[in-house]
Amino acid sequence: MFKSDFLKSSKSKVKNSLVGPRRSTTLSPRLPEKRLYQNGKNQLWVSSSKQNSNVMGNKESSIISKSGPSSEPKSSNNNLENLLRNAIRIAYRIPIADLYVYRDEIIPLIDKIIGKRESMITIKIDRNKIFEEATGRFVGKVKQLAKISSPVHEKPVITFNDTDILDVDGSGFRREYYSVYFRKCIANLFEGQGRQMLPKKDCTKKDELKALGIAIVECVLNGDCGFPYLHRGIYKAIIGCDSDEIDQHCNLNDIPDGEVRMVVQQLNDANTDEEITEIRASDIASFINYVGWPVGKSVTMTNRHVLLQYILRWFIIDHRQNEIDQLRQGLSYMGFLDAIKSNDWFEPLFVYSEQYSITARYMKDKLNPVLEKLEAKTEKEINCVKFAKACIDSLDDTQARLLFAFITNLNDPPLEEESMEVIFNTHNPDRLLPESYTCLNRLLLPLGNKDINHFRESFFKAIMEQ
């Protein structure tokens, strides 16, 4: 794909990401009696006590742990090795942002999942119908699962109908295929803000979410990008965490329905039992009848926080249980779900973390060696290399992510290490703005700028306004 100054991808794809707190790989202690949720200037209290957890059907354990057999204490060498590895990472503060460390850890896990069950296939795709053709392919895999107990992992080589016969998929076409499909799935099947996406209710008629789960597995196993758009509570529900751990990640602003948020805020702001009764009797608060609140039980100043917890949990998680189950079934493909349940290294592939993202240091390490090897023959080319190196050396992390997206058309780093090319734009020597050929991760440097100031202005204009 050729990408010039103002390309298809919007700035919001990179900038519109929500970053949660640094996650711990150890078991977390239960939170205090009440948790505080922020909503603008107001504070919303929701209880997390044992007593209220029992009302919600939560476990009484004093620590938060994953439910199901995968989280039971085991004495296997693999589990011990994972615990030691995580402990070392914490002790020495190895950041997930160090993609080299992250890839070194996760690639062997992926290879283990694939084993010897892999085949290379060639797919010809109409570029204008990527979503439709990908949906058909992955829904077909859903139907195959009912017949095949041990599926074979497919590594597609993609050709597009509008590419030259000599163009070869060096993984760029394949990543475009997944990327377009994922973006369409987000638009059609999800709701929410930024990267805190929730599956829409009633998207279950054509196995779309199962198909998406299978597509995510295939994409990850091929060393491409994950799907770091899920709300953390949804991800925790998918991997079988208990209610307490899921509830930690349910916040008022995550509820998509504005009227529901308004009622919750009114309940939180009420000063008397009478105000609460009046709010509950209003038409827009009728949803309280189906969030699981016991029939006939009154709501008062002393127990309203329990009701608020019911509401948050219902609209963010329980309301979407069928959709969560579909995603879970799709992610079970190739035994992938069992792997992500037992290893925290997979979480950044589903829940966005700034700690697993492109940094300025990463882009400098990638591009500066390429610039140094670039053969500059004319004065214009020699100056162009100097100007480009100065721009790359001055990148901050946000600019680095935008430059990475400009060159690769990806918002997130793939699991398999990518190479980048830099060449002079000799076909259009008067051009001022840089260009890129994203399928080859190739950056074309402009030769038309007369000095460093003009080059810098053009360079950052192109990546910031893409």
DSSP labels for 326-341?
HHHHHHTGGGHHHHHH
| Mean pLDDT within 406-416 | 83
Question: Which amino acid, residue 358?
Answer: I
**Residue 142 backbone phi and psi in degrees, to 5:** -60, -45
Q: Which of 96-100, 115-119, 291-295, 382-386 has the lowest mean pLDDT?
A: 96-100
366 by Cβ neighbours in 10 Å (0-12 / 13-18 / 19+) ranks as: buried
Per the model's pLDDT, the better-predicted residue between 108 and 238 turns out to be 238
Using one digit for the tens of pLDDT, what is the confidence trace for 440-456? 889 999 999 999 999 99
Q: Closest Cα partner for 57 from 290, 264, 309, 341? A: 309
Fold designation for 360-464: Hect, E3 ligase catalytic fold (3.30.2410)
**Residue 241 backbone phi and psi in degrees, to 5:** -70, 160
**Residue 118 backbone phi and psi in degrees, to 5:** -140, 140
Beta-carbon contacts of 419 under 8 Å, excluding residues fewer than 6 positions away, are 441
Q: Is pLDDT at 55 greater than 70 in this prediction? A: no
Confidence at 5, pLDDT banded by 50, 70, 90: very low
Q: Is pLDDT at 262 greater than 90 in this prediction? A: yes
Query: Which helix (H) or strand (E) covers residue 128, if one does?
Result: none
Token representation of residue 234: 């949804």
The contacts found for 282-289 with CB under 8 angstroms, 24 or more apart, are: 284/259, 287/260, 287/263, 287/311, 288/263
Confidence at 375, pLDDT banded by 50, 70, 90: very high
Helix axes 321-331, 208-221, angle to 10 degrees: 40
**Residues 63, 31 contacting (CB under 8 angstroms):** no
Confidence at 309, pLDDT banded by 50, 70, 90: very high
Using one digit for the tens of pLDDT, what is the confidence trace for 178-234? 999 999 999 999 999 888 999 998 766 679 999 999 999 999 999 888 899 999 999
pLDDT at 187: 94
Token representation of residue 389: 């190196």
Q: Average pLDDT, whole number, for the chain?
A: 79
Catalytic site includes residue 225: no
| Mean pLDDT within 243-250 | 92
**Residues 425, 383 contacting (CB under 8 angstroms):** no
Q: Is pLDDT at 420 greater than 60 in this prediction? A: yes
Return d(Cα 343, Cα 215) in angstroms, integer: 20
Catalytic one among 241, 384, 391, 439?
A: 439
Q: Is 36 helix (H, G, I), strand (E, B) or coil?
A: strand
Q: Which of 239-243, 267-271, 352-356, 433-437 has the lowest mean pLDDT?
A: 352-356
Return d(Cα 450, Cα 452) in angstroms, integer: 7
Query: Which helix (H) or strand (E) covers residue 410, if one does?
Result: none
pLDDT-above-70 percentage for the chain: 76
346 by Cβ neighbours in 10 Å (0-12 / 13-18 / 19+) ranks as: buried
- CATH number for the domain running over 65-247+319-349: 3.90.1750.10
DSSP conformational letter for 41: T
Rounded to a whole number of angstroms, the CA Rg of the chain reads 25
Beta-carbon contacts of 304 under 8 Å, excluding residues fewer than 6 positions away, are 267, 268, 270, 276
Query: Which helix (H) or strand (E) covers residue 37, if one does?
Result: strand 34-39
Question: Which amino acid, residue 87?
Answer: A
Q: Which of 122-136, 159-173, 345-359 has the lowest mean pLDDT?
A: 159-173
Token representation of residue 200: 């829409």
pTM: 0.70
Going from N- to C-terminal start, the domains of the chain cover 65-247+319-349, 360-464
Token representation of residue 465: 């306004």
Beta-carbon contacts of 342 under 8 Å, excluding residues fewer than 6 positions away, are 70, 71, 79, 82
Q: Is pLDDT at 298 greater than 70 in this prediction? A: yes
pLDDT at 324: 96
pLDDT at 205: 66
Using one digit for the tens of pLDDT, what is the confidence trace for 95-105? 334 666 777 88
Return d(Cα 159, Cα 133) in angstroms, integer: 13
Which DSSP string do the residues of 301-358 spell out, in sequence order?
A: TTTHHHHHHHHHHHHHTGGGHHHHHHHHHHHTGGGHHHHHHS-GGGGGGTS--TTSS-
Using one digit for the tens of pLDDT, what is the confidence trace for 130-176? 999 999 999 999 988 878 778 889 999 988 887 665 455 557 888 88
pLDDT at 204: 62
**Residues 188, 208 contacting (CB under 8 angstroms):** yes
Q: Is pLDDT at 81 greater than 60 in this prediction? A: no
CA distances from residue 229 to 240, 298, 350 in whole angstroms, order as listed: 18, 38, 6
pLDDT-above-90 percentage for the chain: 57
